[in-house]
Amino acid sequence: MNIGEAARLSGVSAKMIRHYETQGLVTPQRLPNGYRDYAEADLAVLRFIRHARALAFPLEDVRKLLALWRDRNRASADVRQIALAHVAALESKAQAMQAMAASLRHLAAHCHGDARPDCPILDELEKSS
Amino acid sequence: MNIGEAARLSGVSAKMIRHYETQGLVTPQRLPNGYRDYAEADLAVLRFIRHARALAFPLEDVRKLLALWRDRNRASADVRQIALAHVAALESKAQAMQAMAASLRHLAAHCHGDARPDCPILDELEKSS
DNA sequence: CTTGACCTTCCCATTATGGGAATCCCCATC
DNA sequence: GATGGGGATTCCCATAATGGGAAGGTCAAG
């Protein structure tokens, strides 16, 4: 099937499908006219990528997960290790963001938020330390 | 003072200081030899930027905050509005990441994590939907 | 006058995604 | 057979923020 149909069926944009190909994640056949030709197996790969990306796995991780996925003899421990490392990264970033949000909320709570120029938020950003 | 000293004193790398200049956030004088020359006021700006970036304000927001900071007649409401919008963005991203982390943790919890190939994580990514 | 530390600009890379141009292909309709 | 529309191809560019590194100019100490 064409890249357009593959995009529709996989939920991955044609643009990104081509990109994933340059990254070696999917390797469709080529028709004599140069068009890419996707088989069901390719579709499955694209869906796999989409799900992994929805969980914010970086493409490097997706590549590893795909390799494990294709390996019928993989050890589940390998997958788990990648997933848990990713979980840790996600949680650490999420925590950092929530900490920033909390500080800002705190500052904003002490900001009148009216027409006066007084503002603890700017005061904080202004600090020399 | 030189960019190197400004970098040391502000905690912003020389590379980034030059970048912020291309973005119009800081505008040091130039010495006859072409070297940038930073005054105390420039240092204060750089520190302001560093603090704002530490709170993950995008440079576009930093630009607005700097404008308000320089405006002695600003209304605190303007600052607050920017800050609260940023808080909302941070919290929404943090929530999304924690949701992803939670799903993955859940999947990982049901993954043996041993030498067997069985792995619900891959099973989930494989789904056609 | 050389050496080393510092400065300048310019280009490139990162991550994942998309926009857009120029060109080509295929199919259907007149 | 010509034409037109929709889709395909490749290539370049842009995003946000940061850094690496090259090629060359400057300055101060020895």
Percent of chain A past pLDDT 90, that is, above it, reads 98
Between B76, B84, B112, which is nearest A118 by CB? Answer: B76
- Cα separation of B54 and B69, whole Å? 17
What's the average model confidence in pLDDT over A62-80?
95
Q: Can you give the pLDDT at residue A51? A: 97
Contact (CB<8Å) B114/A87? no
Q: Strand C positions with any atom < 7 Å from protein CB?
A: 6-9, 15-19, 25-26
Walking along chain B (129 residues) 10 residues at a time, the average pLDDT comes out as 97 97 96 97 97 96 96 95 95 96 95 93 93
pLDDT band at A129 (very low <50, low <70, confident <90, very high): confident
Answer yes or no: are the C-beta atoms of B78 and A111 closer than 8 Å: no
* Mean predicted confidence (pLDDT) in A103-120: 94
Task: Please state, in angstroms and rounded to a whole number, the distance separating the CA atoms of residues A26 and A46.
Answer: 7
Give the mean pLDDT of A23-51.
97
Asked whether the whole model's pTM tops 0.85, one would answer yes
State the alpha helices, DSSP H only, in chain B: 3-10, 14-22, 40-54, 59-70, 76-109, 120-126
